[in-house]
Every structure is written in structure tokens, then in C-alpha cells.
């Protein structure tokens, strides 16, 4: 099964079931992950900075392309509510602006 490793969260890699979004997989694994719009692709609070394996993810959604054009989503970032991982292993980080104050993150180094 494909996996997502979030480097600045103190947990094992998250298994991503077929067809599941990264957000759904993270929540199923017990991670508290920001998603202010309720996972509808209407904000950028669920973003993930992808460090490795970006080419393994599904193509950018219309919402992601719109936010990139507006400068609200960096080229290295994906919306976890819009993105799936059909195969392989991806490594990413929670960007500082969308980190929860009540979650303990590991040293935030690139």
C-alpha cells in the first residue's frame, strides 16, 4: 500500500488506501490536520509541502491550479483534501503557517 511520511510529525508512515485522499488517510491514522473548509478545496489550510515523490501524486485539481495561479499555493505544495497517492511513497512536511498550536511538531528543518 502507498505511504505518506510527514517528517515533522512524530509518527510512523501513514498508509494511503486506494482512492483515499491524503487528508482522509491522515485522519484515519489519528492525525489532527487543519482543513478549515471541511475538505472541499475552498481554502489552503490542509496543504502539505512535498519533499519527495510529488510525481507519484494525482494531477493537480482545479482548486489547486486556481490557488497556485493566485500565489496561495507554492509549486511544492499540495492540498491534502484534493490529492491521492495511487502508488509509491511520498515524503512531506506540515508548513509552519498551517500547523496547529496544540500539536507537537518535530524540529522544522527543510
Which pLDDT tens digit goes with each residue over 19-75? 999 999 999 999 999 999 999 999 999 999 999 999 999 999 999 999 999 999 999
Cα 24 from Cα 21, distance rounded (Å): 5
* Domains of the chain and any CATH numbers: 22-97 (3.10.20.30)
pLDDT at residue 108, rounded to an integer: 57
Place of cell 501524486: 57
What local confidence, expressed as pLDDT, does residue 94 receive?
A: 97
93 falls in which pLDDT band (50, 70, 90)? very high
> Cell triple for residue 53?
515523490
Looking at residue 107, its pLDDT comes to 78
Q: Which residues of 54-71 are buried (b: 16+ CB within 10 A; e: fewer)?
A: eeebeebbebbeebeeee
Residues 13 and 42 sit within 8 Å (Cβ to Cβ): no
Q: What is the pLDDT of residue 109?
A: 53
Backbone φ and ψ for 63, nearest 5 degrees, come out as -65, -45
Amino acid at each position: 500500500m502507498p505511504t505518506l511520511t510527514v517528517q515533522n510529525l512524530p509518527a510512523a508512515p501513514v498508509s494511503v488506501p486506494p482512492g483515499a485522499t491524503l487528508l482522509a488517510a491522515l485522519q484515519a491514522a489519528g492525525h489532527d490536520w487543519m482543513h478549515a473548509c471541511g475538505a472541499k478545496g475552498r481554502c489552503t489550510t490542509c496543504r502539505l509541502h512535498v519533499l519527495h515523490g510529488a510525481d507519484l501524486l494525482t494531477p493537480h485539481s482545479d482548486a489547486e491550479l486556481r490557488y497556485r495561479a493566485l500565489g496561495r499555493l507554492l509549486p511544492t505544495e499540495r492540498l491534502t483534501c484534493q490529492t491521492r497517492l495511487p502508488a509509491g511513497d511520498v515524503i512531506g512536511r506540515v508548513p509552519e503557517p498551517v500547523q496547529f498550536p496544540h500539536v507537537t511538531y518535530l524540529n522544522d528543518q527543510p
